[in-house]
Structure 1
Amino acid sequence: MPPTHAVPAGASLVVAAIRSWHEARRRALPVQQYLYRTLAPHDCGMLAPVLDSLIRFFETTIRRPLAVGSADALTSDEQALVDILQCADDRKPSAPTEGLPFLWAVWSARIMIRKVLADAFRIRGGAEVVFV
């Protein structure tokens, strides 16, 4: 899958998490521990199980393995996940669909991301914490 465009600065931690998840799966390592090590320096380690679940649901929804990009470019899969997490529409899905579990995972991830970022903001004494 060809890369789409350069990684925007605000999405860098999400992309790092996606790539960390992919690397752990590829190397048959404990995914959540591997993700935690990527996220913990940003006071976001609590998001490891949330993002693990979200990315697994994403793969199930697209019915193929997640494609990851290079250091300076996103794949369409990475861009889709970043866009999904940045979307402001937090309404609950109104009707059952094929992707309903994925929609619930997205909704849950957005809630947890906001909570963890608020906590990280307090931990850092008001310094900005950028996730997406």
Structure 2
Amino acid sequence: MNSTIHPPTAHSPATLYIVLDAVRCWAAARRKHRPAMAQLHLRLRRYGCEQLSPALDSLLRLSEQVTGHDLRTGRGPRLSADENLLIDLLQARWPGPVPYACSDAIACAFCYAVRSTQILLAQALDARRSGAALTIRDADPLYC
């Protein structure tokens, strides 16, 4: 048994699309005052990786506390600075020091949330790989 969990850097562009779709769904739910984690769970279920919902919800909530503002999303293929940062962190491409507007404890929790999400994302995608290929065929381009 291989106990090494690799970050999702080697995964397909579909993986990044799924993460981006989930992030935008979560942010849209928050803006509309809907239950964000429930919306996120429904969105991720389309891809067979709804088990990521709690980790991603926690990561996104902590990212708002770290940055000191609501998560900013792009539209279509254009990514916001917040989305770029999250994707870079999830792919273990450290962009350098991340300025934060929170306590050191929240910043530390955010680092753990990034790593937990990396691990769970890799596990979910490995499980998906053993079954059907991960695709964006069923993705909704309108995001939530």
TM-score for both structures, normalised by structure 2: 0.72
Structure 1 residue runs of 4+, over 2 Å off?
A: 127-130
Q: Which of 116, 121, 126 is residue 113 of structure 1 equivalent to?
A: 121
Deviation of the 1:123 alpha carbon:
2.8
Contact 1:32 1:48 in 2 (8 A): yes
CA distance in 2, matches of 1:103, 1:18: 17
Deviation of the 1:13 alpha carbon:
1.0
Deviations 1:43-64 (A, max 9, x none): 1111111110000111111111
Matched, 1:76 2:81: yes
* AA aligned opposite 2:122: R
Matched, 1:27 2:35: no
Contact 2:56 2:117 in 1 (8 A): yes
- Equivalent position of 1:100 in the other structure: 108
CA distance in 2, matches of 1:88, 1:45: 25
Alignment gaps of 5+ in structure 1: 1-7, 90-96
SS in 2 for 1:42: coil
Structural mapping, 1:1-132, within 5 Å: 9-10=13-14, 11-87=16-92, 98=104, 99-124=107-132, 127-128=133-134
- In the comparison of the two structures, how many residue pairs are matched? 114
Deviations 1:104-124 (A, max 9, x none): 111111111111111112231
Deviation of the 1:72 alpha carbon:
2.1
TM-score for both structures, normalised by structure 1: 0.78
Q: State the percentage of identical aligned residues.
A: 31
CA distance in 2, matches of 1:57, 1:21: 13
CA distance in 1, matches of 2:77, 2:36: 23
CA distance in 2, matches of 1:129, 1:117: 11
CA distance in 1, matches of 2:93, 2:122: 12
Deviations 1:45-103 (A, max 9, x none): 111111100001111111111111111200000000010001168xxxxxxx8211100
Taking only aligned residues, the RMSD between alpha carbons, in angstroms, comes to: 2.1
Alignment gaps of 5+ in structure 2: 1-11, 95-102, 137-144
